[in-house]
Amino acid sequence: MTNTIQPGTTITATFIGDSNLKMTAQVLSRKGDFVTCLCDKQIIRKKVKVAFDGSEYVMLLGSYSMAPMFY
């Protein structure tokens, strides 16, 4: 079973440097491979990616070495 990102849900990210620190984002809409989310009082639109196990994730804060992935 794969986990897909759906509108109206909340996605969560855990930071690599501190596993106790969690951040959430509200999924506002999804059109194809792109989602629009409300994260840290900002509306962000990013492309959805697929992990090796088939679950979807999005990198709302950018793509860098320690960037959190929202599942």
The domain segmentation of the chain, as residue ranges, is: 1-71
Return the pLDDT at 42.
Answer: 95
Specify whether the CB–CB gap between 24 and 12 falls below 8 A.
yes
Q: Where are the beta strands (DSSP E) in 1-71?
A: 10-14, 22-31, 34-39, 42-47, 49-50, 56-57
Check residue 54 and report its DSSP letter.
S
Return the pLDDT at 20.
Answer: 92
- Rounded Cα–Cα distance for residues 67 and 57 (Å): 12
**pTM (2 d.p.):** 0.88
Tens of pLDDT, residues 8-64: 999 999 888 888 999 999 999 999 999 999 999 999 999 999 999 999 999 999 999
